[in-house]
Amino acid sequence: MRAFNAELSKLFSLPGIWLAFLIGAFAPAVIAALDSTAQKEEIIAGVSTRLPEVGYIGLALGVQGVIILGVLAVSSEFLTESSESGGGKQITTSLTVVSSRLHFLLAKAGAVTVISILLCIVAIMTTVSATHLILGEYAPAFEWSRLTGAVCYWTFTALLAFGITVLTKNGIIPLAVLITNTSFVSFSFLLSKVSTLAFYLPDRAGIDMFMSMSDSFHTPFTGGLVIFVWLAVLFVVAVMVFRRRDVAS
C-alpha cells in the first residue's frame, strides 16, 4: 500500500500530469460539442443515422489524456536528473525503496488505473453536460452499461500506453503512435478495410465496448475481452523485460 501511495504522490508531482488532466477532462466534451453542433439539424429532423454515437464519439477520440498519463508514469522514471541532483535517474531511487520490480510495476499500474478511472468519470460528466447543453431534449440517452465500457476503454488504453513505455523506456514513441492512432489516423480502421483481423487490434476492439457503430464487429463483452488479452500479454512481456533490464543504462 505504501508503494501505491508513493506512486500516486509521484504522479501528482509531475508537471506534465496537469496537461493530461486538462486534456482528459475537457477534450471529450469539446469533441462531443462539435459533433453535436454538426449533427443538430439532422437530429432534430429525425434523419440522423449517427444519434447513438453523439457524445460517445468524444469519449472514443478524447483518450489522449490517459495516454499521456500512462506514458508519463513510466518515462518520468528514466529521465536523467539535473547535475545538481546528481545526474541520476528516478528509477534507481524507486527500486532502492521498492526492491521487487514486480511489486514496483504493480503499484505504478495501480496508480495509473485509479487516476484513469477518476479522469474518465470527470470526462463523462463534462461530455454529457456539453451534449445536453447543445441538443437539449434531443440528446441521446447515456446508458450506464455503455458508460462503464467507456471507463474500461480509457483504463485499458492508459495501461497499454504504460506497458509499451516500459518496453521502450522512452515516451516519445508511445505518445506519437498512440495519439496519432486515436486522434488523426486510425491504423486499425484503415487495416479493417483490408482484413477482418484488424478488428482484433486493441483499440478497435475496445471501441466496441461502448460505441454503436454500423461496422461494429464485437459485442461489448467480446471487445473488452480482446483488449484485456492484449493488455495481459503486454504486461507479462513488460515484466519479463523489466526484470532482466539494467535500469541504469
pLDDT, position 215: 67
Q: Which three cell numbers stand for residue 118?
A: 477518476
Report the SS3 class of residue 115: helix
Least confident segment among 2-11, 44-53, 121-130, 215-224? 44-53
Query: Distance from CA of residue 221 to its chain's centroid?
Result: 18
Q: Which three cell numbers stand for residue 74?
A: 513510466
Give the contacts of 111 (CB within 8 A, at least 6 positions apart): 4, 7, 8, 11, 73
Cα(17)–Cα(19) distance, integer angstroms: 5
On whether the CB atoms of residues 205 and 223 are closer than 8 A, the answer is yes
pLDDT tens-place string over residues 39-98: 888 888 888 777 778 888 899 988 999 999 999 999 988 876 655 555 567 888 888 888
Give the contacts of 149 (CB within 8 A, at least 6 positions apart): 209, 210, 220, 223, 224
pLDDT band at residue 113 under the 50/70/90 scheme: very high
pLDDT, position 192: 81
